[in-house]
Structure 1
Amino acid sequence: MTKGTPSHWVTAVSEITAQDIFIRGYAMSDLVGTVPFSAITYLLIRGELPTPSQSRMMDVILSSILDYGLQKSGTLAARAVVSVNPAMTAGLGAGVLAAGEYALSPEDTGRFIADTFNAWKQSGRPMEEAAAALVQELRAAKRRVPGFGHQVFRYVDPRSERLKAIAKAEGVWGEANEWYEAVHRAFQQASNKPDLVLNDVGMLAAIMVQMGFTPQEMCGLAILSTIPGLISHISEEMQSGVRNRLVPDSHVEYASPRRDIASALADAGWK
């Protein structure tokens, strides 16, 4: 088989040899115990070792979600699955599949920030002017801006403020973050909603855009952050001894009336 053909696999991520396992060219025996998990994660995804500040920011990103919470659909899915298939892999699979457009994943937010940021840079317009024009277009099209709003927090999301402070302290705050905040201010003003917060998912996405991660990689990192919480919920469920979790009748409303099959068949033309 010729190297470089469509059927030939090429990777720069890792190599297993008789001497060692190599991660992005570095021997694993040199990495383990020398470089923290957050830095190795950055190395694997971005291809280069991070600076100490980037590594500390990665540690914050990987610690920013941690637990789905029992009320979240991913946790319920994981626990329901292991109540009938008591295997850690089954529960993790169910929980991971619950991350998507409407829960957990910052992918859409990251794509929005990256796309609009690049468009602004190419336009040459002042930031505030471009942000106001973008918001006007979005509102005219009745499009929501991902990463804005929260069910509880008003004016300030304390989680976002903490992430922002750390990003600034670690030197990973930049133009992408400033752009997204300008869009947020423009949206608050245009919608007359000064209490509309920039939430934690939005702030995380902006920071990861600034750090160079793709939207798809952001989704993976968010899921990775939840794995410890999922493991703990799955373990707790399997140790509970409860089998086959069911939705109680008090939580179910049946919406179809009782019907007569004979008359229904006659009406449908059955003989």
Structure 2
Amino acid sequence: MTRSNSDVSDWWSTSIIDMAPGQIRFRGHPIEELIGNVTFPQMIWLMTRGDLPTPDQARLLECALVAAVDHGPQAPSIAAARMAVTCGLGLNGAMASAVNLLDDVHGGAGEQAVELYTWIDLAVQQGADVQAATAAMIDRWQAERGKFIPGFGHRFHKPEDPRAPRLLSLIEEAAKSGVVSGRFVAIGRATQKELNTRKGQPVPMNIDGATALVYAELGFEGPLARGLFCLSRSVGVIAHAWEQMGQAERNKGPTPPQYRWTYTGENPIHEAQE
């Protein structure tokens, strides 16, 4: 059976990049026109969405990306990257190890928060009061997905995560200027109010909940919110991995070696020694 060139060229199809000898175009834009004229957040938008954002849209996107870059070595993704380096991995291996941990529980809450906010927004668009819609969709989420509300609650930052109010204020400024609608930031505040009332104490909006508001306002779908979080956190990952390389430690585990884990099987060693 004979094969034509199209058998090969049609194996992959993409609207993202066109390339020929001496030519590279992203979404129809020559690379030489993008270099020096487009910021990295604008490039992220172009590649994932297909068009270029306005400067104001790109600035708001950049704020969310900056806010989520790092949360210290106690974050599992960062710890994994540092441990990977002590086991001999290079920067690429350390980054891959970290990003692979950013799944549903650690790193996926932003995607889930966009989904919840979208449920609430749909109910509001159909005529429901925002606070009533929020309460109803929280009930639905807990009935269908479990008790944890994505984007809210924090082990360390109580009563407030310092990143959230700053991002919310920036969204509201953008809404006043017509950059975004402001619908989702209102939903975020309604969610915060409802959870505080139910708990009887502050339930802090965390970085996932706050960045999800930015992404929802800008029109990014939930799965992209997770991808953007991975991009953002990769900055912290590479910084920690590089720092760890300079510390020249080998085979560093998750706890100091003088500490032991809890054994729950038969015949523990400490009992035998007694």
Q: Is TM (by shorter chain) over 0.5? A: yes
Q: CA deviation digits over 1:95-124, x for unaligned, max 9?
A: 111112222331111222223322442x32
Give the whole-Å Cα distance in 2 for the aligned partners of 1:72 and 1:155.
20
- Please give the alpha-carbon distance, in whole angstroms, between the structure 2 residues aligned to 1:233 and 1:130: 42
Answering whether residue 224 of structure 2 is matched by residue 217 of structure 1, we say yes
State the 1:63 CA deviation: 0.7
2:120 aligned residue (101, 110, 116): 116
Residue 260 of structure 2 is aligned to residue 257 of structure 1 = no
Is the 1:67–1:229 contact (alpha carbons within 8 Å) kept by the matching residues of 2? yes
Name the structure 2 match of 1:22: 25
SS in 1 for 2:128: coil
The aligned residue for residue 272 of structure 2 is none
Equivalence map 1:77-226=2 (5 Å): 77-105=80-108, 106-121=110-125, 123-138=126-141, 143-170=147-174, 171-172=179-180, 174-189=182-197, 191-226=198-233
The runs of 5 or more residues in structure 1 that have no matched partner are 260-271
Distance 2:142 2:87 in 1: 46
* Cα distance change on mapping 1:34 and 1:150 into 2, 3 Å: same
> Please, what is the CA RMSD of the aligned residues?
2.6
State the 1:152 CA deviation.
3.7
- In the superposition, the TM-score normalised over structure 1's length comes to 0.84
- 43-52 vs 66-75, greater mean Cα deviation: 66-75
TM-score, with structure 2 as normaliser: 0.83
**How many angstroms apart in 2 are the aligned matches of 1:154 and 1:71?**
17
CA distance in 2, matches of 1:89, 1:52: 31
Letter in 1 for 2:59: R
CA 1:133–1:73: 2 relative to 1, 3 Å: closer
Identity across aligned pairs (percent)?
25
Q: Select the residue among 216, 229, 237 that pairs with 1:230.
A: 237
Question: Which residue does the alignment assign to 2:37?
Answer: 34
Matched position secondary structure for 2:67:
coil
Relative to 1, partners in 2 of residues 1:15 and 1:144: Cα closer, same or farther, differing over 3 Å? same
The answer to whether the 8 Å contact 1:67/1:226 transfers is: yes
3-state secondary structure, aligned to 1:240: coil
Task: State the partner residue of 1:52.
Answer: 55
* SS class of match (2:18): strand
Offset of residue 224 of structure 1:
0.9
Report the Cα distance in structure 1 between the residues aligned to 2:21 and 2:229, rounded to whole angstroms. Answer: 34
**8 Å CA contact 1:173, 1:207 repeated in 2:** no
Is the contact made by 2:152 and 2:206 (CA closer than 8 Å) also made in structure 1? yes
Residue 137 of structure 1: CA displacement?
Answer: 4.6
Residue 3 (structure 1) shift: 7.2
Letter in 2 for 1:254: Y
Q: Distance in 2 between matches of 1:79 and 1:155?
A: 30
Structure with larger Rg: 1
CA contact (8 A) 2:119 2:137 kept: no
CA distance in 2, matches of 1:116, 1:129: 9
Tell me the number of residue pairs that the alignment of Structure 1 and Structure 2 aligns: 256
Where does residue 268 of structure 1 map in the other structure? none
| 1:132-180 CA-partner distances (Å, limit 9, x unpaired) | 3334555677633211222244454331110011122233352122123
Inter-CA distance 235–110: structure 2 relative to 1 (3 Å threshold)? same
Residues 69 and 154 from structure 1, CA distance in 2 versus in 1: closer, same or farther, beyond 3 angstroms? closer
Report if aligned partners of 2:153, 2:206 keep a CA contact under 8 Å in 1: yes
Shift in alpha-carbon separation, 1:47–1:140, aligned structure 2, 3 A: closer
Name the SS of the counterpart of 2:117 in structure 1: helix
Cα distance in structure 2, aligned partners of 1:95 and 1:20 = 34
How many Å separate the matches in 2 of 1:203 and 1:153? 14
- In 2: Cα distance, 1:241 partner to 1:157 partner: 34
Answer yes or no: is the 8 Å Cα contact 1:74–1:99 preserved in 2: yes
